[in-house]
Chain A
Amino acid sequence: MVKKGTIKIAGQEHGIRVESRVLEEEIQQAVTKGYRHIEVAAYGQHGIGGRLWRGGDAQIKVDVTGSSGQRLGSMGFANTMIEVFGPASDDVGWLNAGALIIVRGNATNGVANAMAQGKVYIDGDIGARGMTMTKHNPRFEPPELWVFGKAGDSFAEFMAGGVAVVCGVGSENEKDVLGYRPCVGMVGGKIFFRGSQSSYSVHDARLITDLPKEEWSWLKINLKKFLQAIGKEYLFEDLVEKRQEWKLLSALKPHEKKERSIRKMNVFRLDAWERELGSGGLIGDLVSVDRSPIGLITSGELRRFVPIWANEKYLPPCQAHCPTGIPVQKRWELIRKGKMQEAVNLALEYTPFPATVCGYLCPNLCMQNCSRQTVNLPAVDITILGKASLEAKEPKPHPATGKKVAVIGGGAAGLSVAWQLWMKGHDAVIYEGRKQLGGKITETIPQSRIPDEIVAHEIKRLAKNVHHIHLNASLTKEKFGKLKNEFDFIVIASGAAKPRKINVRGIDKALAALDFLRQSKLNCIKVGKKVVVIGAGNVGCDAATEAFRLGAKSVTLIDVQQPASFGVERRHAETAGAKFLWPCFTKAITAKGVELTDGEVLPADTVIVAVGDVPDLSFLPDDVATKKGFIVVNEYFKTNDDQIFAIGDAVKPGLLTDAIGAGRIAARAINDLLKGSHETYDQLLPIDFNRIKTEYFDARIKSFSDLVSCATNCASCGACRDCGMCESICPQNAISRKTLEGENFEYVVDEELCIGCGFCAGTCPTGVWEIVENAPLE
């Protein structure tokens, strides 16, 4: 390859613009041919002077006359020097990799964009986005852009390396020699400029107004070269005369690019928020309580829930369901504590018939409602305790008050009220129409259900204490009026002994059930082989059982509806072989038997009517209200006459325990009236059985053999059994047992430890612990 002189290449042929591709080929050919000085008369062609690597190390000079198009000297090589004798279009020196490019005029947008090596000298101003995305490859010297005038907007955007120098000549009075918003996203390199600049991206660059010595000397040396290249060396002294005119913007290093130094929220809160609003912020003037942040798990007054040791604050279900109100659970508790005698004795405070009724005759509502029943565990057996109560020691009565109460009737109700009044120190006088006390118990309840000696024992115990008993005492209105004058109160407990009549033909042929039972108990009645009992209630069942005992071969109980009988009575009748028929409507009672409305005849030798009984109230003053034959009373069994109470079947047919309970309540009411006191009794709510944890008990126990095993298996509903489970389960160790006077104790909670988790309530076998919402704070 021979070194040759200058070659001229034209951008127009015959007035037609030469395509950039063609011009490029011509230039490359010229270099290949060995031309080292190329003159291009440009006509808007792109990329002139770049990529001249074919010249190897040889220096190639490209002079551009005419009008250069875009991307002058793009991808320029280090061997190339390009000089434009006039202004240039966009992207001068794009991706320049080493060329020296001199523009003797203005250049427009994008000068030196993405330039990595080489230098671009502009003898004029440049447009927007000069020196953007420039690089500095450590293998090479950094690229340089020199601008004689000023730069346009968005200068040095994303600049990543190299040096830019903006001399600002002619723009000495301008506010921004680097245009609007330079250095956005700048990460490397530096910019020397002369003149003023009102803003730049402070996030990316640092402004140095006092040039360090080495920078200044670098600038001076290279400024001279630049000025030489554009032929303006004569200005050198003027430009460096005032060092303070020059400033430097250099990219912040990553670690220097701090997040905007903004106030921390806590500082803002203190210095701005509360300074403006006052201490305590928005509502500091409205609340005085502590409002500082708290955690999710809190104790003390910040707990949401609080455990309460609600010992004996609710009635156990057994007691709640006992019409007599016997504290059944309490009795088991005494046994658990080894106080057997006390447990036995306790019953007499509630009933004169603990053995007769609890042990034998009562359907034992306490057991029916025992919490254990709810999960199919056998109820603890009260009948054992009942029977044991035969030997109970009667309580000591209160001192005598001298107040007198007449009790009309010596059945269960009358004896109960008299017993209770006696205990309270009043003088109860019993008027019984028959020759013995006990009412139904002694008169009509079959022996099969209760041994006579038990009843006799308990009646004797009562009679021993309640002295004034008048047997065979018939009563009339006049006599009743006298009693009213003699006694402070009268309690009518005369029962319901008058059989209810049904209005059918041949009713005279039938026996009333109570009459039948009374006579059968005395063994002074006979029955036929076939017996029909009209009315299949419990009394009917008793009658059926007795009929069998007396020799009947078949007993049929009929009823207009499904029989209401239940319990022992029903069981005894069924066991004896009684048949139940319903619905059957009796038309007539004939010699053959019972004729039904549908024509069927039930053969019967004996017909017993057991459709209920009504009181015989012929003695009752007319002004005492009754309804359907029964005396009307309030919740305390007082009639509309303040002096007269009525209890038992005279008020409403019921169980023995209902009658006994009524006696208790009436006695308390009378006692209150006599003593002018207003005691509250048994006002506690029954405990929710869900609180009782029956899981602690053996599920496979079928029945209980003795009092101790009963007592042990009693769930002690609502009454602490001092098991210590709560102490153990508490995750915070907040519960402890505190010994009080005597045998008393309580479990207490350390508020500062308790988090209100409710574990104590969750584990308590007896349901004593309850969790309630903490009291509102404000």
Chain B
Amino acid sequence: MESVGTINPSTLSVKDLLWQIMWNKDKCTLCGQCTAVCPVRAIELGVHRKRTLQVPVGLEEKPSNLFSVYFGINQRTDVAHACVGCGMCNLVCPNGAIMPLRSDEIDKFRFHANQGGEPRRRGGRRNAPDSVLDKIKFVRISMLTDPALDAGRHEFELRTLLGRILPPEEMLKVSKENGWMPPIREIYPLIIGSMSFGALSPNMWEGLQMGVAYLNEELGMPVRICTGEGGCPSRLLKSRFLKYVILQIASGYFGWDEIIHNLPYMKEDPCAIEIKYGQGAKPGDGGLLMWYKVNKLIAAIRGVPQGVSLPSPPTHQTKYSIEEAVAKMIQSMYMAWGFRVPVYPKISATSTTLAVLNNLTRNHYAAGLAIDGEDGGTGAAYNVSMNHMGHPIASNLRDAYLNLVKLGKQNEIPLFAGGGIGKNGNLAANAAALIMLGASGVQTGKYIMQAAAGCLGSEADRCNVCNIGVCPKGITSQDSRLDRRLDPEKVAQRIVDVYLNFDTELKKIFAPLGRSTSLPIGMSDALGIDDAAAAERLNIKYVL
């Protein structure tokens, strides 16, 4: 039998872990809440033997030993139970006696998180906190002929368009001939990016949808949310709220027969259809919803039996090339709603984005292009995909926009950028930068998770257990013991807070630049960056 002193290559000490539990014996009341709440059972009660040597002064008598036992919180160090740093222990501790701290050096854990030869997978974030978007400054402050606007006093129309926009000449011609005009949606430029029912917990999903409905109906903000690839509850499909929803179709086609069955009962058209070809978190890679997450509810919405794994291949299988895929898919999806609903593809940012885009310019149905940069995506992905695959959004989006400018189609195919917007909390600034680089709008998921539901993930590899169904905030869990921690009503309220705050911040950016009546798409003269190479690459000012 192995003794405690026996080690194997994956035997780790607390010091070897990325997250280390600091526990204070004096403050601990042994209430058990930390171990009860820990999502990965990284901590447990431990028994400790305490030895005190009692040495009589003067050594007149023999020294003696006094043994006693005490209890404390132990951190487990085996790979399966490594602390993820979520800090829930600290959250529940009545005395602040416990907290995870990040290792002061590169952890050894990372070399062992591949037990059984299975590479590490996780949800959440690329572990790179830097962001070009954060470095972009808005340098063109109106100080001269045009005094800066007062964000509070002027009227702002922060709206964007989603849909194929005909060039003026053609619009007039088609209008005169009473011809078919592509549907166009006037929407708020910050879209809640695709996060599927299944990837998100029911309460999170409902909270997001409720918040979006509230923003539309109570506050008049035409905010839109994308369902992600996981179908859509029938009740939503039949409701008036459907018009706030962008339905996504992806290579798994989950839930689409349910959507089709609901077609006759829809009283509103959805805002748009997003065809997913790729996502920022794992570009070019497919997904898999593990069988244990496919509970009764998910199964019903996705139209599958309970307890089977649901693969989404990297590609749409019956399409032989992206060009054909886009053309066929767009046309089919238009047909579903009688050509009244805009359809656009979403791709991972890639150095071949321009080829896709050029193709779309020649497809008169293509209602836009969503590009998801390397920082995008919230779902489960292999570590290596999340950390190393993909193209940064800023230059990709910029290239795409300038390519459209060259073709004179900059207003015809709106570009929507995603991936890392607000990753460090600067949602409005990042969004504004992308808009001025040429995006018609932005999509974000992670910021929403963080701000609306208190997601604990960070670029320092914190938490990131979205993929295994133990989200301690109940955001990505399908276990009602966890997801009921999240009150949809409060998520909805936070969505409202986030949007109102975003709106104000966006105005605080646009107003000093003198913009209020139209979204400053492509207003690149307002941008500067203190990185000469980035400035040249993005074709914006270099400032120091």
Chain A positions near chain B (C-beta within 8 angstroms):
157-158, 181, 184-185, 262-263, 265-266, 268-269, 272-273, 276-278, 281-287, 289, 291-298, 302-305, 317, 321, 368-369, 373-376, 689, 693, 695-696, 698-700, 729-732, 755-759, 761-763, 765, 771, 774, 776-778
Point out the residues of chain B lying under 8 angstroms from A693, CB to CB: 47
In angstroms, Cα B240 to Cα A374, docked, is: 67
* Contact of A778 with B33 at beta-carbon distance under 8 Å, contacts A291-B480, A294-B485, A762-B46 already known: no
Tell me how far the C-beta of B5 lies from the nearest C-beta in chain A, rounded to whole angstroms: 8
Q: Are A695 and B36 in contact (CB under 8 A)?
A: no
B interface residues (Cβ-Cβ under 8 A, vs A): 1-5, 29-33, 35-37, 41, 44-49, 51, 65, 67, 69, 71, 74, 88, 91-92, 152-153, 155, 202-203, 205-206, 209-210, 213-214, 217-219, 233-236, 239-241, 295-297, 300-301, 479-482, 484-490, 492-493, 496
Instruction: Check if A263 sits within 8 Å of B218, measured CB to CB.
Output: yes
Contact B152 A185 (CB under 8 A): yes
Q: Contact partner of B489 among A181, A266, A272, A276, CB < 8 A?
A: A266
Query: Are the CB atoms of B485 and A286 closer together than 8 Å?
Result: no
Closest to A299 in B: B36
Cβ-defined contact, A759 with B32, below 8 A: yes
Q: Which of B36, B47, B485, B492 contacts A763 (CB 8 A)?
A: B47
Query: Are A276 and B240 interface neighbours, CB within 8 A?
Result: yes
A184: chain B residues at CB < 8 Å are 153
A771 to B488, CA, bound (A): 31
Task: Say whether A758 contacts B153, CB under 8 Å.
Answer: no
Q: How far does the alpha carbon of A648 sit from the alpha carbon of B508 in the complex, in Å?
A: 89
Q: A158-B153, A762-B71 are in contact. Are A778 and B296 (CB under 8 A)?
A: yes
* 7 intermolecular pairs with C-beta atoms under 8 Å apart: A277-B239, A283-B202, A294-B485, A297-B92, A376-B3, A695-B47, A763-B71
In the complex, what distance in Å separates the CA atom of A375 from the CA atom of B241?
64
Q: A residues within 8 A CB of B71?
A: 729, 759, 762-763
* CA–CA, A296 and B90, complex, Å: 12
Contact of B30 among A278, A284, A731 (CB under 8 A): A731
CB within 8 Å: A-B pair count? 186
Residue of A nearest to B91 (CB): A296
| Interface pair A282/B205, CB less than 8 Å apart | yes
Q: Are A777 and B481 in contact (CB under 8 A)?
A: yes
The CA-CA distance from A268 to B45 in the complex, in Å, is 45
Find out whether the CB atom of B235 lies under 8 angstroms from the CB atom of A778: no
Q: A158-B153, A276-B240 are in contact. Are A291 and B484 (CB under 8 A)?
A: yes
Interchain CB contact under 8 A, A699 and B49? yes
> Cβ of A265 and Cβ of B214 under 8 Å apart?
yes
Find out whether the CB atom of B2 lies under 8 angstroms from the CB atom of A265: no
Q: CA of A297 to CA of B35 in the docked complex: distance in angstroms? A: 10
Neighbour of B31 across the interface among A269, A303, A700, A731, CB < 8 A: A731
Which of B152, B155, B206, B217 meets A282, CB within 8 Å? B206
| B-chain residues with CB within 8 Å of residue A291 when the two chains form the complex | 202-203, 480, 484
Q: Which of B47, B217, B234 has the most CB of A within 10 A?
A: B47
Closest Cβ neighbor of A269 among chain B residues: B489
Shortest C-beta distance, A382 to chain B (Å), equals: 16
- From B155, which residue of chain A is reached at the shortest CB distance? A181
Q: Which residues of A contact B74 (CB under 8 A)?
A: 762
Partner among A696, A759, A762, A778 whose Cβ is within 8 Å of the Cβ of B295: A778
- Beyond contacts A276-B240, A729-B45: 18 other A-B pairs, Cβ-Cβ < 8 A, are A185-B153, A265-B210, A265-B490, A268-B213, A282-B236, A285-B234, A287-B296, A291-B203, A304-B482, A693-B47, A695-B47, A696-B47, A729-B71, A731-B31, A759-B35, A762-B47, A763-B45, A771-B41
A601 to chain B, nearest CB (A): 44
Q: Are B1's CB and A374's CB within 8 A? A: yes
Residues of A within 8 A of B3 (CB): 373-376
Question: Once bound together, how far apart are the Cα atoms of A289 and B481, in whole Å?
Answer: 12
**Neighbouring B residues of A269 by C-beta, 8 Å:** 210, 488-489, 492
Cβ A375 vs Cβ B4 within 8 A: yes
Distance (whole angstroms) from the CB of A717 to the closest CB of chain B: 11
Residues in B whose Cβ lies below 8 Å from that of A262? 218-219
B36 partner residues in chain A, CB cutoff 8 A: 297, 303-305, 755-758
Residues of A within 8 A of B48 (CB): 695
Pair A272/B217 contact, Cβ less than 8 Å:
yes
Shortest distance from the beta carbon of B8 to any chain A beta carbon, whole Å: 14
Q: How far is the CA of A158 from the CA of B484 in the complex (A)?
A: 47
Closest A-B pairs by Cβ, 8 of them:
A762-B45, A757-B32, A695-B49, A731-B32, A757-B36, A293-B487, A374-B3, A294-B484
A700 / chain B contacts, CB cutoff of 8 Å:
65
B37 contact from A297, A375, A376, A761, Cβ within 8 A: A297
By beta carbon, the residue of chain A nearest B299 is A286
Which residues of the partner chain A approach B301 to less than 8 Å between Cβ atoms? 283, 286
**Pairwise interchain contact A297-B49, C-beta atoms closer than 8 A:** no
Q: In the complex, what's the smallest C-beta–C-beta distance from B285 to chain A, in angstroms? A: 29
A199 → chain B closest CB, angstroms: 12
Minimum CB–CB distance for A151 against chain B, Å? 17
Q: Is the CB of B297 within 8 A of A758?
A: no
CB closest chain-A residue, reference B45: A762
Are A282 and B1 in contact, CB atoms less than 8 angstroms apart? no
Q: In the complex, A465 Cα to B296 Cα: how many Å?
A: 64
Inside 8 A of A303's CB, which chain B residues have their CB?
36, 481
Q: Which B residue's beta carbon lies closest to that of A320?
A: B1
**Which residues of chain B are within 8 angstroms of A771 by Cβ–Cβ distance?**
41
Residue in chain A with minimal CB distance to B301:
A286
Q: How far is the CA of A291 from the CA of B152 in the complex (A)?
A: 41
Residues in A with CB closer than 8 Å to B213 are: 268, 272-273
Bound: A287/B297 CA distance, A = 7
Q: Determine the residue in chain B with the shortest Cβ distance to A686.
A: B1
Indicate whether A698 sits within 8 Å of B67 (C-beta atoms), given known contacts A268-B214, A759-B35, A763-B47.
yes
Contacting pair B485 A778 (CB below 8 A): no
Indicate if the CB atoms of B233 and A293 lie closer than 8 Å.
Answer: no
Are A778 and B480 in contact, CB atoms less than 8 angstroms apart? yes
With A277-B236, A285-B234 as known contacts, state yes or no: A732 contacts B486, CB within 8 Å.
no
Of all chain A residues, the one with the shortest Cβ separation from B51 is: A699
A293 contacts across to B, CB distance below 8 A:
484-487
**CB-defined contacts of B29 to chain A, threshold 8 Å:** 731
B296 and A762: CB pair below 8 A? no
Residues of chain B lying within 8 A (CB to CB) of residue A759: 30, 32, 35, 45, 71
Closest to A201 in B: B153
Best-buried of B45, B153, B234, B300 by chain A (most CB within 10 Å): B45
Of A157, A276, A304, A757, chain B has the most CB atoms within 10 Å of the CB of A757
- Chain A residues with Cβ under 8 A from B486's Cβ? 293
A284: nearest residue on chain B (CB-CB)?
B235
User: Per a CB cutoff under 8 Å, which of A285, A298, A369, A761 touches B44?
Assistant: A761
Nearest-neighbour CB distance to chain A for B452, whole angstroms, equals 12
Q: Could you tell me if A777 and B47 are in contact, using CB atoms closer than 8 angstroms?
A: no
| Contact present for B30 and A289 (CB under 8 Å) | no
Given known A-B contacts A181-B155, A265-B214, A731-B30, A758 and B235 have beta carbons under 8 A apart: no
Task: Check if B45 sits within 8 Å of A757, measured CB to CB.
Answer: yes
Give complex CA distance A763, B301 in Å.
44
Find chain A residues with CB under 8 A from B233 CB: 282-283, 286
Within the complex, the shortest CB–CB distance from A235 to chain B, in Å, comes to 35
Interface centre among B1, B153, B241, B487 (most CB of A within 10 A): B1
A292 touches B235 (CB 8 A): no
In the assembled complex, the CB of B486 is this many whole angstroms from the nearest CB of chain A, namely: 7
Residues of B within 8 A of A374 (CB): 1-4
Q: Collect the chain B residues with CB atoms within 8 Å of residue A774's CB.
A: 481
Q: How far is the CA of A373 from the CA of B202 in the complex (A)?
A: 50
Beyond A293-B486, A296-B37, whether A286 also contacts B297 by CB under 8 A is: yes
Contact of A297 with B33 in the complex, beta carbons under 8 Å: yes
Give the residues in chain A near B65, CB-CB below 8 Å. Answer: 700
Residue of A nearest to B202 (CB): A283
B234, closest chain A residue (CB): A285
Closest CB-CB distance, B473 to chain A, in whole Å? 9
Q: A293 CA to B218 CA in the complex, in Å?
A: 24
B35 contacts A289, CB within 8 Å? no
The smallest C-beta distance from B99 to any residue of chain A, in angstroms, reads 16
